[in-house]
Amino acid sequence: MKNYYILLIAVIGLLFTSACNKGNEEPEPTKIIEQLVIPDGFTFETTMEKEITILMPTSVDYTFLRSRVNIFSDIPSNGGVLLGSGSVAEDGKSTIQLKIPTYLQQLYVETLAGNALISITQKQNQKEGGIIIDFDEPVSFDEPAIIEGLKRSDISDNNIQGLNLKQTNSIVNLIQNGNFSTNSFGTMSDWPSPMSVDGKWYITSTLGVNFARQHTQASEKMLRITPSASRYGGVAQLVAANPGDLITLTSDIRSNGNTGNIAWLFLIPRNSLGQSIGYYSIQTNNTGNSWMTKTIAASMPAGTVSVQVLLWSHIYGGAIDYDNVIVTGPVTDSDGDGVDNELDEYPDDATRAFNVYYPDATGFGSLAFEDLWPGKGDYDFNDLVLDYRLKQVLNANNKLVEFYLDYSVRAIGAELVNGFGIEIPGTTSLSISSVSGTLLTENYITLNSNGTEAGQDKAVIILFDNAFNMMSAPSGGFGVNVSMDATWVEPTMNQLHVAFAQPVLLQSTGFAPFNPFLIVNKDRGVEVHLAGKTPTALADLSLLGTWFDNSDPANGKYYQSESNLPWAIDVPVKFDYAIEKTEIVSAHLKFGAWAESGGVVFADWYKNLNGYREASLIYSYESGL
């Protein structure tokens, strides 16, 4: 009966007030946005979910190693940001679930075995909506007779672009003179010749110093290989190693002059007699005269006392250059969780391994709400604007231990006193051990002892029950930070911390911001969710499908109007919202085309690009008094 009276009062109020109840003026008409023809099933998602599966080389033993895989939006040197991380399982596979902007065209995958820049719009490497990257596919290997009969473990790299995981100032390079700055070389009859661990590069006799030598170009020193009579040859250096050591070899390689030119990187473990007991290799026949980086990673077999690092070439013409040779190993794992210290953000804590951020480590996403559901809004999407960034802490088995949600309320374009919460899929209140960082002052939320909301079938956390308290602003009035002629109120950054009773699979909890919702005007049963998201167990389900809302739970439709308009949007950046009483389609000029296309065109509609927005209709705090 309570909700009946609330609805009746709201209906009457709608006849006389604006859509967000902000004064006594007649509301601006919402004809523009209501004329949009939005396809059924489109839920205004600005992100997409991708499953990335990385198959690592079988040359590495993952029984005790849980090496790290990082996924970026682009090559980091090009401005790519870290989107996700995961560890490699015992079977040599790493599967990472990502939530990424729908406009993104590519991903950059970083592993100890090399890196790959891949397209996420093309069909190759994709299977059932996921992306598979195989670092263990066999390569075509034109091998000289002298290495036939040995165990082979060739490694392909699928357009590997460079290794960042290992190239830090803290890494000790086992190779001496890896940048060939010292012009000092020895010679040997061929690569199987006896060698000692002396930090010196040895040139095979098939090349000699005439065809393998230090070369200087634009003040950069490197190793240059030029054609000899045999066409085969290379340089080698021996480093100490033990059985089980993970050894990686990385080198920059450049070739020109003939398409038959091939360059190999080899790791060749040797026993106490100096005999080769196996080899691991990777090749390239790139002849575009541009540098590319190749990497091998291998666990040394039983009997290993040293490993030969061999730069081998098959050259018909032109030149093959090598530079910045880096050899690392063995790894150090202080806490014994399988993630070596160099990649472990918690090297002394076996219960934690690394952090995963959304949308990334430095940026924020935004939620923007209309609060008169199930009534019609004015579609300025500024009744509540909340910025957020999630940091999830994973253990070495890719399970979620805890998370931190940094958040701030940036705008309140309403008089109603609204609260905000999140529902975490795949969990119950028993999944959570503790919650901190909430602010509840209005006495309409009941909590369990661990800080979750009582009476819910899934874990629900109410971050605050009065948005005005989050901005040190008085309730009522004409809103906060939505009008150019009003004083700017500096938002306050807050942090929610949620610890789990037992680590849970990351994919079971869904993606940030999980299932966020607004609680309207202190009425716990009135929830406003993103389009397509389900209400919590405490929502008043009788409101679904009433007034302007056209929810149809039987068909999976929630929180959308008959013309499929939403009451909330989520964008993976800090959202530049419209000023009060301005429809989003008038401020963000590509929003309408994006919505009518079902998200196909202008997937980046919220960006500040040429022709994308009417700047005078977007709130700017610099314009505030």
Q: Is 139 a member of any domain?
A: no
Reported as a single tens digit per residue, the pLDDT across 202-251 is 999 888 888 999 999 999 999 999 998 888 899 999 999 999 999 999 99
Q: Domain with 59 in it: what CATH number?
A: 2.60.40.4150
Strand spans (E) along 510-564:
515-519, 527-529
Q: Residue 486's pLDDT band (boundaries 50, 70, 90)?
A: confident
Of the residues 73, 99, 134, which one is the last residue of a structural domain?
Answer: 134
pLDDT classification of 343: cutoffs 50, 70, 90? confident
**Residue 615 neighbours by CB under 8 Å, 6+ apart:** none
As a whole-number percent, the residues of the chain with pLDDT over 70 amount to: 87
For residue 114, give its domain range.
47-134
- C-alpha 307/C-alpha 278 separation (Å) is 10
The reply to whether 409 and 525 lie within a common domain is yes
**Is 305 among the domain residues?**
yes
For the four alpha carbons of 112, 118, 123 and 128, in that order, the dihedral sign comes to positive
Predicted confidence (pLDDT) per residue in 382-430, tens digit? 999 999 999 999 999 999 999 999 999 999 998 899 999 999 999 999 9
Is 344 within a domain? no
What is the amino acid identity at position 147?
Answer: I
* pLDDT at residue 451, rounded to an integer: 98
DSSP 412: B
Say if 117 falls within a structural domain.
yes
Counting the structural domains of the chain, the total is 3
Mean pLDDT of the chain: 86
pLDDT of 168 strictly over 60? no
Residue 123 lies in a domain: yes
What is the pLDDT confidence band of residue 613, given thresholds at 50, 70 and 90? Answer: very high
Give me the pLDDT at residue 476, please. Answer: 58
**So what's the pLDDT on residue 288?**
80
Q: Are residues 190 and 244 in the same domain?
A: yes
539, 463: one domain: yes
* 152 and 102 together in one domain: no
Q: How large is the C-alpha radius of gyration of the chain? A: 30
Over residues 54-80, mean pLDDT: 87
pLDDT at position 63 over 90: no
Nearest to 547 by CA among 10, 2, 1: 10
> Pick the residue with more confidence: 55 or 411?
411
Kindly state whether residues 304 and 402 are assigned to the same domain: no
Whole-angstrom distance, CA of residue 599 vs CA of residue 377: 22
Give the best-scoring range by mean pLDDT among 463-472, 481-490, 501-510, 527-536: 527-536
Tell me the whole-structure pTM to 2 decimals. Answer: 0.83
Residue 62 tokens, joined: 């993952």
CA–CA gap between residue 382 and residue 469 (Å, rounded) = 17
pLDDT of residue 446: 98
User: With bands split at pLDDT 50, 70 and 90, how would you rate the model's confidence at 342?
Assistant: confident
Which of 76, 105, 134 corresponds to the end of one domain? 134
Residues 223 and 362 in one domain: no
| Residue 434 pLDDT exceeds 60 | yes
User: What's the average model confidence in pLDDT over 148-172?
Assistant: 42
Q: Where are the beta strands (DSSP E) in 29-113?
A: 47-55, 68-72, 82-87, 93-101, 106-111
Question: Given this model, what pLDDT does residue 621 score?
Answer: 74
Under a CB-based contact definition with an 8 Å cutoff, are residues 195 and 275 in contact? no
In sequence order, the β-bridge partners of residue 217 are 220
Looking at the domain assignment, is residue 28 inside a domain?
yes
Instruction: Kindly report the CATH number assigned to the domain that includes residue 169.
Output: 2.60.120.260
Q: What is the pLDDT of residue 143?
A: 33
Q: What is the pLDDT of residue 474?
A: 67
For 416, phi and psi rounded to 5 degrees? -65, 145
For 114-145, the pLDDT digits (tens) are 788 888 875 444 334 478 887 765 333 233 33
Domain boundary (328, 349, 368) is at: 328
- Taking the C-alpha atoms of residue 67 and residue 331, their distance in angstroms, rounded to an integer, is 10
pLDDT at residue 211, rounded to an integer:
94
Statement to judge: residues 533 and 420 lie in one domain: yes
Higher-confidence residue: 209 or 616? 616
pLDDT band at 149 (very low <50, low <70, confident <90, very high): very low
Q: Answer yes or no: do 212 and 322 share one domain.
A: yes
Residue 163 confidence (pLDDT) above 60: no
Q: Are residues 616 and 535 in the same domain?
A: yes
pLDDT of residue 421: 98
Residue 365, in any domain of the structure: yes
Residue 348 covered by a domain? no
Position 525 pLDDT exceeds 60: yes
* Single-letter amino acid, residue 561: S
Tell me the CA distances in angstroms from 393 to 273, 496, 564, 594, 624, one per residue in order. 47, 14, 37, 35, 38
* pLDDT of residue 7 exceeding 50: no
pLDDT band at 271 (very low <50, low <70, confident <90, very high): very high
The predicted structure's pLDDT at residue 66: 81
Same-domain check for residues 321 and 260: yes
Split at pLDDT 50, 70, 90, the class of 289 is confident
Dihedral angle over CA of 136, 142, 147, 151, nearest 10: 20
State whether 475 and 577 are in the same domain.
Answer: yes
pLDDT at 290: 86
Q: Give the sheet arrangement for strand 262-270, strand by strand.
A: 185-188, 201-204, 232-240, 306-314, 262-270, 280-284
